[in-house]
Structure 1
Amino acid sequence: MTTRSGRHFLQIPGPTSVPDRVLRATAQPTIDHRGAEFAELTLDLLQRLGPVFGTGGPVVVYPSSGTGAWEAALVNTLSPGDRVLAFETGHFAGLWRAMAERLGLEVDFVPGDWRRGVDPRAVTERLAEDRTHSIAAVMVVHNETSTGVTSRVPEIRDAIDEAGHPALFLVDTISSLGSIDYRHDEWGADVTVACSQKGLMLPPGLGFNAVSAKALAASARARLPRSYWDWTPVLEANERGFYPYTPPTNLLFGLREALRMLDEEGLANVFARHRRHARATRAAVNGWGLEVLCADEREYSASLTAVLLGEEHDADKVRQIILDRFDMSLGTGLSRLAGRVFRIGHLGHFNDLTLAGTLAGVQMGLQLAGVDIDPAGLNAALDLLRAE
C-alpha cells in the first residue's frame, strides 16, 4: 500500500477542489427547513445567485446533478414531438441530445468535429429554413467540458435574432458558470443550466435553472411530464424562502459561503484569473510542442484545456503515470477522444502556485511516458504567470 503525503491534486474539470471555508460551512448543524432561519438563508441565496448568472429573474435550485438541471430545462418548456436544434460540440452536447430524444423530442443535430464550438452562421441558416417556426428551442453547450471549447453565446443569440425566429434559447453553463463571463439576461438566454461542483466550488449535488419571462410563459403551455422538476411549486415556495420538498440544507450553507467568496474577489477578477491561468496552460502546451484540442483561438476555454497527443501515445497511460507518481488526477478523453486527449482543469478555487504544480506534474508525467516534449514548456507558463 502506497502512503501519500500532502493533498491530492484534483485537476479534472470538475468536481473541483472545495475550499476549506466551504467545507466548514457544509459541516454546520442542519436546521429546520420549515423555520425562519432557513427562510432567511434561502432568500439570501436567491439574491446572491442573480449576479453570478447575470440575471434579475428567478433561479431555480434543485437537489440534483447537472443532468437533472438539463432535464428540468427541457420538461418545463417543451411538449412531446417538439423540434429542437442542437449542435455536436462534444460528449456532453451528445448526452443532452440523447436525453431530449428519450423525452420524446425531435432533435435536429448539426454535426461537428469536436474541435470547434457552435457556428453562429449555421444557427441563422437552420432557423431561416424553418419558415413555419416548428423549431421550439435551440440547445447550446456554452463550455464543452469534454473538449475545452467555449461557444460564442452572444453571437449565437444574434444569429437567432437575425433569423427572426421565436425559438427558446437553452444554454448549458455547467463548466463555465462562475469561471467564464456569462450574462443570462443580456445575452437573451431563456434557460441557463448549471450545477454546483465546478466554478461554484461545491461538492456535487445542486442543479440550477435561471429562467426568463419567455421561458416561464412557455412552461404554462409545455406538456412534457414533470413533477419533481416542475418550476412552479419551487418558485411559489421560494417566495417565502422555502421549498416544496426537503432541501439539501448543508449544501445550501456551502453555496452561501461560495457565493460570498466570489463576491469578495469580484466576478470580473474571477473571470480574469481564469483567463490568465488558461493562457499560461496553453503556453505550456505549445511550449511542449503539443496541440491544444480547441482549433479556434476565439473559443479557447478559460476553465479547462484539452491536450491532444499523437496517435503513437496513449493519453490514459500518461494520466495513470501522473496519478501513480505525483498523486494528481487529470480528466480523461471521453468517447471518441478516449486515449487521445487528457484534460487539465484550471477552474474554481485555484491560484498561480497550484497551476505551476499542476503543469510541473504534467510535464514530468509526459517525460516518464516517453512523449517527446520540449521541457521549456513549463518555463513558458511560469514566465507568463510572472509577467502578468
Structure 2
Amino acid sequence: MRTGITHLAIPGPTNVPEAVRQAMNVPMQDMRAPDFGDLTIGLFSDLRRVFKTANGTVILYPGSGTAAWEAAMMNTLNPGDRVLMCRKGQFSMLWARMAEQLGLEVELVDVPWGAGTPVSEFARILGNDAEGRIKAVFVTHNETATGVTSDVAAIRAVMDDVYHEALLFVDGVSSIASIDFRMDEWRVDLAVTGSQKGLMLPAGLGILAVSEKAMAASRRATLPRAYFRFEDMTAVNGDGYFPYTPPTQLFHGLRKSLDRLFEEGLENVFARHRRLAEGVRRAVHAWGYDLVAEHCKIYSDTVSAIRVPPEVDARDVIRGAYVNYNTSLGTGLGPLAGKVFRIGHLGDLNEVMCLAAISAAEMALVDAGATIDLGSGVAAAQCWYRESRQVRQVALAAE
C-alpha cells in the first residue's frame, strides 16, 4: 500500500497547483452564453504577455502541443515547400517526421543528441539559398529529451544576416512560461506550447502564437486543413468564442495559472527555474556523472538528462525510484533508452521538491548498482540552494 504522495519529477505533465485544480472544479457552462467571453477574452491577451508579443495572434486548440505543431505547418505552408530543420533529440525528430508526413520537403541537419541547433550550419545553408527555396526554419527551443536549450535569437540573427525571408517556427513546449521567450524581439512567426508544462495544467490545450507575417501566409497556404483552420478560429475568438466545443474547465485553470505567473513575475519565474535547475546540476556533478547536454551554455533550466555509467541500466533506476520510493523520473528516449534518466524541474516547484527527486534518484541509483555516496548530490544541491537564497536576500535588502 502506498502512503503519502507520488513525487512527480518528470518534465511534463508537471505538478498542478492545488489552487489551479480547485479553479477547474466548476459546473459545465454554456459555451454560447453571452457572458462566456468574460472568461476567455482575457486569456488571449495574457498569453500574449507570456509569449512577449504585442501583436501576435494567440490560438487555443483542444489538443496537445503536437496538435499546435500540426496547425502551425498546415496553415502557413504549401505542399512541397522546403523547410530547414535540425534533428537533435526525440521531439525535434518527431517534428521533422510530421513535416515529411504533411508533404513538405525537409532539409535535415543531424547533430549529436546533446548538441544545440547548429547556428553556423544554418547560416551556411540559408546563405546558399539565394533563390529562397527554404520557406520555413524550425527551432526546438528546449529539447526535452536531452535537456538542451538552443539560441533562438542567434538563429534569427543569421536569417537577418543573409536577408532570408523564411518563416521562423519555434517549438516552445518545454520552455515557454519557464525559460525566457521573446517572440517579438526574436521575430518568431509561429511559437508552439502546451498546457501541461510551464503553464501548470493538465494536458489538453495546444497553444499557438502567430505573427502578422504568418497570418498573411495562412491566407495563401494550400496544405489541406479543416479542424485546424486559422480562419475559423480567429473569426470568433475576438469575442471569446470558439468554432467547436472548447475545454472550459481548462480555461478556468489557465486563468488561475496565469494569475500565479504574473503574481510571481515572469522574470522571477525564469530566475526560479534557473536556480532550481542549477541545484540539480550540482547534484549530478557531485555524483561524478555527466549531463547529455554537451556544454554548460546550453543546459536546460527545465529538465536535466543524466547519463548513467555503463554498468547501470537507467531503466532500473527509473523503475526502482517509482516502485520503491514513490518518485517518477523521466525515461531516456530513443537511442538514450537505458543510458539516461531525466529529472524535470519546471512548473510549480521549489527547492525541497527538487531535493526529494535528487534523494530518490540517489537511492535508486545505488539499488541499481551505481557506486555513489548517498547524500552527496543532496548535499551539493542543499549548499547551492542556501547560498543562492542568501544572495537573493542580500540583493532584495539592497533595493
- TM norm structure 2: 0.96
Q: Secondary structure at the match of 1:60?
A: strand
Retained in 1: the 8 A contact 2:311–2:369?
A: no
Question: Aligned letter for 1:116?
Answer: A
Retained in 2: the 8 A contact 1:290–1:373?
A: no
Q: Hey, what does 2:279 align to over in structure 1?
A: 280
- TM norm structure 1: 0.98
Among 12, 15, 18, the alignment partner of 1:14 is: 12
Q: Secondary structure at the match of 1:324?
A: helix
CA distance in 2, matches of 1:336, 1:367: 23
Shift of 1:123: 1.3
Retained in 2: the 8 A contact 1:287–1:374?
A: no
Retained in 2: the 8 A contact 1:199–1:348?
A: yes
Retained in 2: the 8 A contact 1:289–1:374?
A: no
Answering whether residue 392 of structure 2 is matched by residue 384 of structure 1, we say: no
Q: Secondary structure at the match of 2:31?
A: coil
CA distance in 2, matches of 1:114, 1:127: 23
Q: Secondary structure at the match of 1:14?
A: coil
Shift of 1:37: 2.6
Shift of 1:344: 0.2
Q: Hey, what does 2:38 align to over in structure 1?
A: 40
Shift of 1:61: 0.5
Q: Secondary structure at the match of 1:257?
A: helix
Shift of 1:240: 1.1
CA distance in 1, matches of 2:372, 2:151: 32
CA distance in 2, matches of 1:106, 1:332: 31
Question: Aligned letter for 2:250?
Answer: L
Question: Aligned letter for 2:45?
Answer: Q
Shift of 1:66: 1.0
Q: Report sequence identity in percent.
A: 48
Answering whether residue 176 of structure 2 is matched by residue 186 of structure 1, we say: no
CA distance in 2, matches of 1:234, 1:269: 33
Shift of 1:311: 2.2
Shift of 1:378: 1.6
Shift of 1:374: 3.7
Shift of 1:42: 1.1
CA distance in 2, matches of 1:312, 1:358: 22
CA distance in 1, matches of 2:227, 2:310: 46
Q: Hey, what does 1:354 align to over in structure 2?
A: 353
Question: Aligned letter for 2:378?
Answer: L
CA deviations 1:198-243 (Å, max 9, x no partner) are: 0000000000110001101110111000111111111110111111
CA distance in 2, matches of 1:46, 1:377: 42
Q: Structure 2: which 5+ residue stretches go unaligned?
A: 389-399
Q: Hey, what does 2:322 align to over in structure 1?
A: 323
Pairwise mapping of residues 71-110 of structure 1 onto structure 2 (< 5 A)? 71-110=70-109
CA distance in 2, matches of 1:106, 1:246: 34
Q: Secondary structure at the match of 2:285?
A: helix
Q: Hey, what does 1:67 align to over in structure 2?
A: 66
Q: Secondary structure at the match of 2:219?
A: helix
Q: Secondary structure at the match of 2:159?
A: helix
Number of residue pairs the alignment of both structures matches: 386
CA distance in 1, matches of 2:34, 2:140: 38
CA distance in 1, matches of 2:34, 2:382: 50
CA deviations 1:51-83 (Å, max 9, x no partner) are: 111112211000011110110010011000000
Shift of 1:36: 2.6
Question: Aligned letter for 1:62?
Answer: Y
Retained in 2: the 8 A contact 1:91–1:334?
A: yes
Shift of 1:164: 1.3
Shift of 1:274: 0.2
Q: Hey, what does 1:217 align to over in structure 2?
A: 216
Pairwise mapping of residues 79-158 of structure 1 onto structure 2 (< 5 A)? 79-158=78-157
CA distance in 2, matches of 1:312, 1:368: 12
CA distance in 2, matches of 1:296, 1:242: 46
Retained in 1: the 8 A contact 2:65–2:192?
A: yes
Shift of 1:89: 1.6
Retained in 2: the 8 A contact 1:75–1:226?
A: yes
Question: Aligned letter for 1:157?
Answer: R
Shift of 1:17: 1.0
CA deviations 1:170-215 (Å, max 9, x no partner) are: 0000001111000111111000011000000000000011000110
CA distance in 1, matches of 2:329, 2:308: 14
Question: Aligned letter for 2:32?
Answer: R
Q: Hey, what does 1:26 align to over in structure 2?
A: 24
CA distance in 1, matches of 2:35, 2:295: 49
Shift of 1:131: 1.1
Pairwise mapping of residues 265-304 of structure 1 onto structure 2 (< 5 A)? 265-304=264-303
Question: Aligned letter for 1:31?
Answer: Q
Question: Aligned letter for 1:160?
Answer: M
